[in-house]
Structure 1
């Protein structure tokens, strides 16, 4: 993290990134000293309510983060920045998005956890838009113009006030990652189920907590021992809205997913936490499992970042693909769309065993094989097709039938195969 003192002293001359979180109420004038070089401006965690009208002086500015501030509108100055592609204003008090505030080259817009009830139709005119994150607002409808966003790949609209999913949504040719839980959707099957599968509840007092294993947007995972002996992992949910939606919807989907070889087995739902926190107790994953990839970067936008030099064997890649396709069929038969089917949510170990985690973007559908359920499944099949292509690339696999399968998964929505067909084709 940079400091205002260093900025004002000229110590940051030539910097391409500036990170300031120091209670700012006004844009720091000294930042203009970086007007010729700055590409990433991060002013999250301050008390700002507007940005200067001449922000366009930052000729190379590509990314602006202003989360956790006091904005009530998206600043119009953003629209004048010629190179600006990523805009993040999470957790403000934004009620208004002027059309003029949308940069011409916008690819990635984050307005999670604000107070928006409408969006301008101009949003659908941003032809480069790939990621749109709107969870935790007050939206009762989406602009019809979004139907023309042919490059839109990821959409987060969970925890809003949508009574129905627009018909054009599943027809978007590039959409692969969708989260819509926590809306009053019709039919009711698209909402969080009132009844979840019966799971054993495990009392907090039976757990002896150990080291923290990790932390994400929705909660933290802690190692523990159950009844003083059995090693387990405990996921403790935070409770606030994340970029994907509500942690309670994540927990509901995790419980409803049932058992599958590519899922981490659940022991039960936590009961009696001293602070009232929700949680799940699950089997402790073998340390031989590691993340297949890292999440997308600012540069890659919607594509995972694989470790340099990762070389999967063809048999390993095929085994991973088989398990994921089988799990996709299992989940959609239960009326669950994972919503974040990415390599960074896959744990794998040599040999090709894999486990899919993080149900933070999961949503429910009717699971009846009807037109909408099939359309939502084929939307997620596109995510699988992207993953399959990446697996083939990492393994050097040149089998033509696998290449054709990957291409079919990312083709026209109505022509994509279903997961059960993919599992059969892969020999699962």
Structure 2
């Protein structure tokens, strides 16, 4: 982080800075930042309270690629952004922003984050941002999406949580690259209107029966506390405790995540929920800062389970290194197919219950190579859309693309031992089907699971099964 006084004194002039960050309160945009334009690529003025940009912002900062102004006071997305010829990543979280002007979006955008504002509509010119890959809009007041967004055929990540969308347009679910979608806390995804009933058969566990021990910190969504469940004076079970607090994030609300976890039910490749917590000390807290939504007790995952691999949404180099360190252990083909079979079954199970996971990536999977088994977690982006939803098939096949990308991640981990060539080729063929640009041509998760089960059976016979739609 840089210093304002040094900036004003010209101390950074000619220093060749590529990134610049201030967090102190500013009454106006510091003109001296424009003097760094020959090299500046990343600018972060989050928390400074700014509400406007100078008219020559784009002309002077011609190399700027990343602009972050979160927790400021912009009521309108500044049109000066559009004049930045290289701008790719824009973030204006929590600005109380009401409007996005037609001429404010640079066509070079790859990522746009407008989480936690008061935006009621998006401009039609968003369709000119044809390279857009990530669009984050949770916590706004959108009732519709502009049809021009259909031109953004590279859009992969779309977060629409906590808006006012009564329906999802069919063209949205036909976008060829859309793999990570979440839309909880919208009328089109309300459990009350989609027939989702409270979970049945779970234990109600008083907080007084739980003994907190330490923090596993292995779940990418929330820290999970390890503890004991004292079921009787003579018996205590090792368990994990997850409490849901806070408000919405770029993926959803803790309350939505809790609802999805409970509605998911039981599957061998999902983490088992043993019960719901009641009588927690924060249950009736008057302070809104606690924002406690509930808690669950789950099975304690053995420590030899680790994240399977990289996450497509991990963007910073440091995060990529950390993820790779945790999840780059090689897999045999047999192990990979076994894990993927269980995960496809878990995804089919979720969609049969009307649940869209929303973040089906290797980073949200805990895997045991010794057991050839994997567990799907990371429900922060999950959406309950309900059984019988008219767009259920399109929603499922959107997520099938994410599974195809998961297969690609797993293929990079396979050791390619002698005799594995056909297994590898079979997985490549299945990945290709999952990634079809025509969403309707993709298989369902039940079909994916069947293909993987067949691969487990034919692996020793050294032949490739007939896969509909493939050339093998």
Q: Distance in 2 between matches of 1:2 and 1:261?
A: 50
Q: Which runs of 4+ in 1 moved over 6 A?
A: 186-190, 215-218
Distance 1:310 1:61 in 2: 37
What does residue range 11-410 of structure 1 map to in structure 2 within 5 Å? Answer: 13-56=15-58, 57-185=60-188, 193=196, 195-214=198-217, 219-227=222-230, 229-276=236-283, 277=292, 278-295=294-311, 296-298=313-315, 307=324, 310-351=329-370, 352-368=372-388, 372-395=391-414, 397=416, 398=421, 399-410=424-435
| C-alpha RMSD over aligned residues | 2.6
Q: CA contact under 8 A between 1:220 and 1:237: conserved in structure 2?
A: no
* Residue segments in structure 2 that go unaligned for 5+ positions in a row: 284-291, 457-472
Indicate if the aligned counterparts of 2:184 and 2:190 stay in contact, CA closer than 8 A: no
Q: Please tell me whether the aligned partners of residues 189 and 365 of structure 1 are also in contact (alpha carbons under 8 angstroms).
A: no
Q: 1:18/1:294 Cα in 2 relative to 1: closer, same or farther (>3 Å)?
A: farther
TM-aligned CA deviation for residue 58 of structure 1: 1.7
Q: Is the radius of gyration larger for structure 1 or structure 2?
A: 2
Deviations, residues 319-346 of structure 1 (Å, cap 9, x unaligned) = 2211211111111111111011011111
Give the unaligned 5+ runs of structure 1. none
Question: In the alignment, is the contact (CA less than 8 A) between 2:93 and 2:115 conserved in 1?
Answer: yes
Cα 1:225–1:48 shift into 2, 3 Å: farther
**CA displacement at 1:219 relative to structure 2:** 4.8
CA distance in 1, matches of 2:27, 2:93: 17
Whether contact under 8 Å (1:61, 1:81) holds in the other structure is: yes
TM-superposed CA distance for 1:110, in Å, is 0.8
| Cα distance in 1 for residues equivalent to 2:336 and 2:21 | 39
Secondary structure of 1:185's counterpart equals: helix
Gap change, CA 1:186 and 1:104, over 3 Å in 2: closer
Q: State the aligned residue count.
A: 425
1:98-142 CA-partner distances (Å, limit 9, x unpaired): 122111101111111110111101112210011111111111111
Give me the whole-angstrom Cα distance separating, in 1, the residues matched to 2:90 and 2:329: 31
> What are the Cα deviations for residues 193-238 of structure 1, in whole angstroms up to 9, with x where unaligned?
3534442222222222233333989754322222294332222222
Cα 1:146/1:256, change in 2 over 3 Å: same
- Aligned CA distance change for structure 1 residues 304 and 409 (closer, same or farther; 3 Å): farther
Q: TM-score, normalised by structure 2?
A: 0.83
Q: Distance in 2 between matches of 1:178 and 1:362?
A: 9
Residue 178 of structure 1 and its aligned partner are, at CA, apart by 0.7
Matched, 1:418 2:444: yes
- Structure 1 pair 284–22 and aligned structure 2 pair: CA distance change class (3 A): farther
